[in-house]
Chain A
Amino acid sequence: DAKTTQPPSMDCAEGRAANLPCNHSTISGNEYVYWYRQIHSQGPQYIIHGLKNNETNEMASLIITEDRKSSTLILPHATLRDTAVYYCIVTEWGANSKLTFGKGITLSVRP
């Protein structure tokens, strides 16, 4: 069973920020939060991950609540090419850490 809960879908306007929520209320102390996205008929693309601090890279920002029970992925300026299924995954850090993919959230960016 996936350890995360995400809404099935959301949309946003092109150029606006897309805030994708994720609940992971049973996360344990040594588990990280990972975000991947999958554009139709392609392999998943790594976006960002974090443990407890907020993280930012060239693609997105990850905001993790202080109790670590939820997080938000922020795409600051969504484009049409950001339309994809976004997966929030929690997993332990380790050489054989498995990723359990849930259903993800389908983000549709409208012109």
Chain B
Amino acid sequence: KQEVTQIPAALSVPEGENLVLNCSFTDSAIYNLQWFRQDPGKGLTSLLLIQSSQREQTSGRLNASLDKSSGRSTLYIAASQPGDSATYLCAADNNNDMRFGAGTRLTVKP
């Protein structure tokens, strides 16, 4: 059974800092790994999807990497802004069985 863990559970950084969010998973036989953003009281917004054959994906200030052999993915956020404050969730997909981590709550202070 796939288990997904995100560390740290919460992170507070000053504006402008570069930061890394971590995601680990126990079953490397994944189809893909997704990173989502969730604002308080809202649904999820997909940020990046990395397919199993890929090593990384980039969108603007976001870069996500995937290392299936070690069961790890990282989300790198460059030059953080207060608007980046949200909870970030990763999810590993094993053939229509999507398992989510509990998320990292990010606060970017002005």
Whether chains A and B associate is: no
Point out residues on A near B: beta carbons under 8 Å.
none
Point out residues on B near A: beta carbons under 8 Å.
none
